[in-house]
Amino acid sequence: MTYLGRRIRELREAKGFLLRQVAAYIEADTALVSKLERGERKAQKNQLKKIAAFLEVDEKELELLWLADKIIDDIDQEPQGLNALNFVQGELAK
């Protein structure tokens, strides 16, 4: 499960919504929303906006988690990924 998927599920369940209700609002099928929550599919940026609106959460919160998941996925696949991230972090701190 991804950070974004976990958060979407937490928000959806806390508000008592079914997967199909979220899916209908974002004009997608229920299977897609389920896969987003389980981290089996990556959300598109335009879907984040709709999901945030439906779940009444700040879009920036979901965007942060979306980007974090994307970075983690990229770094995980590279032997020097963590070293590159540390390098970039140092460069940004300057």
Q: pTM to 2 decimals?
A: 0.88
Domains and CATH numbers, the chain: 3-93 (1.10.260.40)
* CA pair distance 4, 45, nearest whole angstrom: 12
Residue 3 has, within 13 A of its CA and on its CB side, a CA count of 13
pLDDT tens-digit map of 2-32:
999 999 999 999 999 999 999 999 999 999 9
Q: To which residue do tokens 């972090």 refer?
A: 89
Three-state DSSP state, 56: coil
